[in-house]
C-alpha cells in the first residue's frame, strides 16, 4: 500500500535559537519546533512540568456545587454510590474517587454496568438497584453526560446526582445537581481534553482545597490517574501532559499493590507510556470486554497481597481468553475478505454469528489498519439483529456517513473514527451497498495513509546519547507521537524475514556506518528488496537491548527505493 511521506517544514533559525537558548541537542530542538513548542514557558511546561502547572479546579462549571454537596455527604455520613464505566478510564476513575472518600471516612458503593448485557452508561434497572441499597447521592464517573432520562429517573426516586464526564455534551445536559464536563457548551475551562479520570482528579483536587488538606492527599493518586489517562488515548498535551509526566514518576514507585502486580505481569522491563498502552491497558480492558470489570476494580482497591495475586492471575486469564476470541474472529474476518474480494472495495463490512461483542471493536481496528479502509463488523444473533463496531481512517467521517444510512440501520452512536451500530439482517445488504456508495462519493479511494516525518538525518549523525535524549519528550501517545525520521540512500547490507514471514530484519549501511533495523508486519518486503539495493527508510530511533547488550536500532514504518 502506498503511503504519503510528509516532512515538516524546517525552521533552521528557530531550531538554532532553541538549541542555543535551552542547551539541548539539534534533534530535540527540531522536534520541539515542529510541534510548535517554541516559547520559554511552553518548553519548560513540556519538558519539566510541576504540580504548580495544574489549573484551578474551580474554573470548571458546577465544581463549587459538586464539592459543597460531597462535603455535606461526608459530614453527614450519607450513602454514596459511584457509577462508572467498564474500561480502564472508568475503573481508574472509580478507584481514585472511592479511595479519596475512604480516607475521609466514607465507604462508597460502586456500580459498573456489565458490558455484555447492560451496555455503556446509566440504565434505569441499575438505578433501581442503587436506590434499594439506600443511596442518597450518586456520582457518575466517565459517563452520564448523555443520560438525560436516566438522571431524571434517579431524581424521581430521590437520588441526587453529580455527573462527572469527559464525553461530548449535546445541546441538553442532564438535570443533575452538578454536571462537571469540560465539553459542556458553556465551559470556559482552559483545557477540554481531560480523560474521565482526569475530571475525577480535578474533583478531588477541589475537595482537598476546600477541606484544607495537604496537596499530597490528591497528588498521591497521580499513578492511577496516569494509567487511566494514557489508556483512554486522549491527547497527551497541556494538563494531560502534566498528569502523565508526573504520574509516570509515581507509577515507577507505586504503592498500589494491584498496579504493582499488573506491571509485573505485563513483562515490560521499563515503565513508560508504551508499557501502559500495550502491557497494562489490555489486561485491564480485557476484564470489561469479558464482562468482568469488577475484578479489575477489586485489584486496584485491594490491600491483601494474596487476593491481589489471585486477581492478577484472573486478569491474565481474561486477557488470554480475549486474545483467543479476537484471533478467532480476525481469522474468520480475513477469510471473508479474501473469499469475497472485499479488499477491492472502498469499505469492508463483515458479519458473523455470535461474534463476541466485547472483542469485535478490536478486530475492526485491526482490519482498518491492515487494509486502510473503514470497516464495520456485525455479530448477528438468532433474532436477526446484528450489533457491532466500526472504525475509520483519517479523512473519512464515519459518524457523518452513517447519518446518511438511517433508513437502513436501526441505531448507532460514536464519533468520526469509531462507532457502535445495530443493523437488521434483512437490511444488511442494503446497508452494505449504501455505505460503499457513500464512501465512493467522498472519493475515499484518493485518501492515502500519511506518515508525518520530523526530520531527515544521516546514520553517521546519530548516537546513543542523542537517542536517549528523546526520552525527554515522553510520555508519547495521542497528540504527542514518537518522533519519526527519514534516512535516505541507505544500502541494504543484509535482509531476511522473521516469525514465519511476518516481520522484516535488516542491516543498513551509510558509508562506514551500519545500523540494525526491524520492520514489524513488513515481512512481505523481504521479497521486494535485495542485498545491495539503495533504499529510503522512515522509522523511529530506539535502543534495542538484547542479552545485556544495547544497540541503536531503526524501527521501520515504511520503505521505498531511492531515486
**108-153: per-residue pLDDT in tens?**
999 999 887 787 789 999 999 999 999 999 999 999 998 999 999 9
**336-369 per-position pLDDT tens digit:** 999 999 999 999 999 998 898 889 999 999 999 9
Cα 376 from Cα 391, distance rounded (Å): 7
**210-225 per-position pLDDT tens digit:** 999 999 999 999 999 9
pLDDT value for 268: 87
pLDDT value for 535: 96
3-state secondary structure 452-487: EECEECCHHHCCHHHHHHHHHHCCCECCECCCCEEE
Cα 243 from Cα 237, distance rounded (Å): 9
Position 184 pLDDT exceeds 80:
yes
Residue whose C-alpha cell reads 452512536 in the numeric block? 413
For residue 340, what is the enclosing H or E element?
Answer: helix 305-340
Q: How confident is the model at residue 171 (pLDDT cuts 50, 70, 90)?
A: confident
pLDDT value for 551: 86
**264-300 per-position pLDDT tens digit:** 998 888 899 999 999 999 999 889 888 888 999 999 9
Give strand pairing partners of 413: 420
> At 551, is the secondary structure helix, strand, or coil?
strand
Average pLDDT score over residue span 516-531: 92
User: What's the mean per-residue pLDDT of the chain?
Assistant: 93
* Fold (topology level) of 341-446: Diaminopimelate Epimerase; Chain A, domain 1 (3.10.310)
Q: Which three cell numbers stand for residue 333?
A: 474476518
In 3D space, the residue among 553, 533, 550, 532 whose CA is nearest the CA of residue 542 turns out to be 553
Other C-beta atoms lying within 10 Å of the C-beta of residue 248? 21
In 3D space, the residue among 262, 267, 265 whose CA is nearest the CA of residue 284 turns out to be 262
Other C-beta atoms lying within 10 Å of the C-beta of residue 133? 10
Q: Which three cell numbers stand for residue 500?
A: 514465519
* Fold (topology level) of 53-238: inorganic pyrophosphatase (n-terminal core) (3.90.1640)
pLDDT value for 76: 96
**187-205 per-position pLDDT tens digit:** 999 999 999 999 999 999 9
* Strand pairing class (348-353; 375-380): parallel
Position 514 pLDDT exceeds 70:
yes
Q: How confident is the model at residue 389 (pLDDT cuts 50, 70, 90)?
A: very high
Inter-residue contact 151 to 122 (CB < 8 Å): yes
b/e code 367-397 from CB counts within 10 Å (16+ = b):
bbebbebbbbbbbbeeeeebbbbbbbbeebe
Position 1 pLDDT exceeds 70:
no
Q: Cα–chain-centroid distance for residue 498?
A: 29
pLDDT value for 90: 95
Inter-residue contact 494 to 507 (CB < 8 Å): yes
**For the chain, which residues make up each domain, given as ranges?**
53-238, 341-446, 451-561
> At 414, is the secondary structure helix, strand, or coil?
strand
Q: Which three cell numbers stand for residue 257?
A: 499493590
Cα 429 from Cα 423, distance rounded (Å): 10
Q: Report helix angle 88-103 to 281-289, nearest 10.
A: 100
Q: What are the respective helix, strand and coil percentages of the chain, to the nearest 5? A: 45, 20, 35
As a CATH number, domain 451-561 is 2.40.50.460
pLDDT value for 46: 93
Model's pTM, two decimal places? 0.89
Half-sphere exposure of 271 (CA within 13 A, CB side): 20
pLDDT value for 200: 98
Contacts of 509 (CB under 8 A, 6+ apart): 459, 490, 491, 492, 493
**293-339 per-position pLDDT tens digit:** 899 999 999 999 999 999 999 999 999 999 999 999 999 999 999 99
pLDDT value for 104: 95
Position 154 pLDDT exceeds 90:
yes
pLDDT value for 30: 92
Q: How confident is the model at residue 169 (pLDDT cuts 50, 70, 90)?
A: confident
pLDDT value for 300: 96
Amino acid at each position: 500500500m502506498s503511503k504519503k511521506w510528509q516532512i515538516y517544514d524546517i525552521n533552521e533559525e528557530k531550531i538554532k535559537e532553541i538549541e542555543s537558548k535551552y542547551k539541548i541537542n539539534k534533534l530535540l530542538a527540531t522536534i520541539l519546533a515542529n510541534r510548535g513548542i517554541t516559547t520559554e514557558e511552553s518548553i519548560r511546561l513540556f519538558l519539566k512540568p510541576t504540580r504548580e502547572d495544574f489549573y484551578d479546579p474551580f474554573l470548571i462549571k458546577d465544581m463549587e456545587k459538586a464539592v459543597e454537596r460531597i462535603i455535606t455527604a461526608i459530614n453527614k455520613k450519607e450513602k454514596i454510590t459511584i457509577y462508572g464505566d467498564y474500561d480502564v478510564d472508568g475503573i481508574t476513575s472509580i478507584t481514585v474517587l472511592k479511595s479519596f472518600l475512604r480516607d475521609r471516612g466514607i465507604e462508597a458503593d460502586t456500580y459498573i454496568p456489565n458490558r455484555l448485557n447492560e451496555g455503556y452508561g446509566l440504565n434505569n434497572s441499575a438505578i433501581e438497584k442503587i436506590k434499594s441499597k439506600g443511596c442518597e447521592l450518586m456520582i457518575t464517573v466517565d459517563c452520564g453526560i448523555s443520560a438525560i432520562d436516566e438522571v431524571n429517573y434517579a431524581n424521581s426516586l430521590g437520588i441526587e446526582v453529580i455527573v462527572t464526564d469527559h464525553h461530548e455534551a449535546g445541546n441538553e445536559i442532564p438535570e443533575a445537581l452538578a454536571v462537571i464536563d469540560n465539553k459542556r457548551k458553556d465551559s470556559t475551562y482552559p483545557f477540554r481534553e481531560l480523560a474521565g479520570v482526569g475530571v475525577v482528579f480535578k474533583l478531588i483536587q477541589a475537595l482537598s482545597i476546600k477541606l484544607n488538606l495537604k496537596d499530597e492527599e490528591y497528588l498521591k493518586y497521580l499513578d492511577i490517574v496516569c494509567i487511566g489517562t494514557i489508556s483512554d488515548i486522549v491527547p497527551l498535551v497541556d494538563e494531560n501532559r502534566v498528569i502523565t509526566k508526573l504520574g509516570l514518576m509515581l507509577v515507577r514507585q507505586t504503592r498500589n499493590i494491584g498496579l504493582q502486580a499488573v506491571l509485573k505481569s505485563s513483562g515490560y522491563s521499563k515503565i513508560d507510556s508504551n508499557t501502559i498502552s500495550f502491557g497494562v491497558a489490555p489486561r485491564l480492558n480485557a476484564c470489561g470486554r469479558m464482562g468482568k470489570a469488577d475484578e479489575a476494580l477489586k485489584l486496584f482497591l485491594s490491600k491483601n497481597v494474596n487476593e491481589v495475586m489471585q486477581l492478577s492471575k484472573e486478569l491474565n486469564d481474561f486477557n488470554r481468553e480475549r486474545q483467543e476470541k479476537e484471533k478467532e474472529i480476525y481469522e474468520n474476518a480475513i477469510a471473508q475478505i479474501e473469499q469475497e474480494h472485499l479488499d477491492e472495495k472502498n469499505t469492508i463490512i463483515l458479519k458473523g454469528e455470535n461474534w463476541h461483542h466485547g472483542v469485535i471493536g478490536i478486530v475492526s481496528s485491526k482490519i482498518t489498519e491492515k487494509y486502510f479502509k473503514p470497516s464495520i463488523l456485525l455479530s448477528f444473533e438468532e433474532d436477526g439483529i446484528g450489533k457491532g463496531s466500526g472504525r475509520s481512517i483519517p479523512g473519512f467521517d464515519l459518524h457523518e456517513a452513517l447519518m446518511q444510512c438511517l433508513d437502513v440501520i436501526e441505531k448507532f452512536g460514536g464519533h468520526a473514527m469509531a462507532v457502535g451500530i445495530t443493523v437488521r439482517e434483512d437490511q444488511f445488504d442494503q446497508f452494505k451497498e449504501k455505505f460503499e456508495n457513500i464512501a465512493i462519493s467522498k472519493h475515499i479511494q484518493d485518501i492515502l495513509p500519511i506518515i508525518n516525518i520530523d526530520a531527515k538525518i544521516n546514520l553517521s549523525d546519530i548516537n546513543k546519547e542523542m537517542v536517549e535524549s528523546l526520552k525527554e519528550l515522553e510520555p508519547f501517545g495521542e497528540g504527542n507521537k514518537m518522533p519519526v525520521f527519514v534516512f535516505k540512500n541507505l544500502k541494504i547490507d543484509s535482509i531476511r524475514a522473521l516469525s514465519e514471514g511476518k516481520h522484516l530484519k535488516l542491516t543498513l549501511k551509510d558509508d562506514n556506518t551500519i545500523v540494525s533495523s526491524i520492520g514489524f508486519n513488513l515481512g512481505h518486503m523481504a521479497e521486494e528488496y535485495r542485498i545491495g539495493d539503495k533504499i529510503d527508510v522512515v522509522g523511529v530511533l530506539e535502543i534495542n537491548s538484547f542479552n545485556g547488550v544495547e544497540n541503536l536500532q531503526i524501527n521501520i514504518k515504511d520503505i521505498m527505493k531511492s531515486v
